């Protein structure tokens, strides 16, 4: 049955949970994304409809099955998450913002808004139906769960 296995790429992430737990481990991403050309990203993975996912951790038991609803944000190296993304060439708007989570944790960075010009305000972006969005800080990509945001301060 091993010949039926789907090849995956392991990506190391750090997850901050609503119960203040921080979990470091590896996600298993597809080599082909479902909705765009290239490999699946952590953002793609977190926005899939499945409520639970597998995370490989260093401690026993090595495999945990995690509920997406408890994840506030996922941090991953920027070169892993967005290496091939040429936002400027794609016409994606860069929107600086500070996200304040329900636990008062603050994260400042840039969100990338890929919406029609008439719907490209920060409020339009934040009201999108996808559960997670990308916020970039220095060399880290943060996959932010909209459902755990208390408020957002546009700009810096």
The pLDDT mean for the chain works out to: 89
> Where residue 76 falls among pLDDT bands split at 50, 70, 90?
very high
pLDDT tens for each residue of 19-50: 999 999 999 998 877 877 788 899 999 999 99
3-state SS string for the chain:
CHHHCCCEEEEEEEEEECCCCEEEEEEEEECCCCCCCCCCCHHHHHCCCCCEEEEECCCCCCEEEEEHHHEEEEEEEHHHHCCCCCHHHHCCEEEEEEEEECCCCEEEEEEEECCCHHHCCHHHHHCCCCCEEEEEECCEEEEEEHHHEEEEEECC
Q: What is the mean pLDDT of residues 114-141?
A: 91
Domains and CATH numbers, the chain: 2-71 (no CATH), 87-154 (2.30.30)
pLDDT at residue 26, rounded to an integer:
97
Q: Considering the entire predicted model, what is its pTM?
A: 0.88
């Amino acid at each position: 049955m091993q010949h039926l296995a789907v090849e995956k790429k392991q990506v190391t992430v750090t997850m901050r949970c609503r119960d203040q737990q921080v979990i470091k481990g590896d996600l298993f991403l597809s080599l082909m994304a479902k909705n765009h050309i290239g490999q699946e990203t952590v953002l793609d993975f977190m926005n899939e409809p499945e409520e639970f996912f597998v995370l490989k951790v260093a401690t026993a038991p090595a495999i945990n099955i995690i509920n997406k609803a408890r994840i506030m944000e996922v941090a991953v190296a920027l070169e892993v998450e967005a290496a091939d993304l040429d936002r400027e060439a794609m016409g994606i708007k860069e929107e600086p913002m500070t996200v304040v989570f329900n636990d008062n944790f603050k994260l400042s960075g840039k969100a990338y808004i890929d919406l029609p010009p008439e719907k490209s305000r920060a409020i339009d972006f934040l009201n999108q139906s996808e559960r997670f969005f990308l916020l970039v800080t220095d060399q880290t990509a943060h996959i932010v769960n909209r459902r755990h945001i208390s408020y957002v301060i546009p700009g810096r």
